[in-house]
Homo-oligomer: A and B are copies of this chain.
């Protein structure tokens, strides 16, 4: 058995990780320094901002986040008054999560910033390539399987 001739920068898991890290860096700095948020926190905030109120369980499903991560993120967002919980009458195990006006405002700022960072990211790439990129990543991530 001779040299396997493996070319590392063609290996998709590696390439995806490096691209993800590079692509997320600026946005990460933004939500961290501006709002003191962690990754799981902005993800939960965005789910509520994009899709409206829902249970923690639903956030887990949509975001592919484990319930322990969501639990802590929800607690942190509540502490910072971004989010409110409301007891459900029908099933008291479930709490309906929704953004406060402050949370909504923060979501609007963050999503605008996200849109700017993304525009910067795809700047110079043909729209057709970006469209294809999204569709391939959607399949690979499994995010295309989650119903909204």
Contact = CB atoms under 8 A, between A and B. Distances in A.
A122 B10 CA distance: 12
Contact of A10 (B6, B13, B134, B146): B134
Given A12-B134, A132-B129, A18 B141 contact: yes
Interface stretch (A66-74, A76-84, A112-120): A112-120
A141 B19 contact: yes
B50 A141 contact: no
A8 B46 contact: yes
Count of identical protomers in the assembly: 2
Chain A binding surface SS class: helix
A74 B144 CA distance: 39
B111 A19 contact: no
B6 A118 contact: no
A90 interface: no
A22 B141 contact: yes
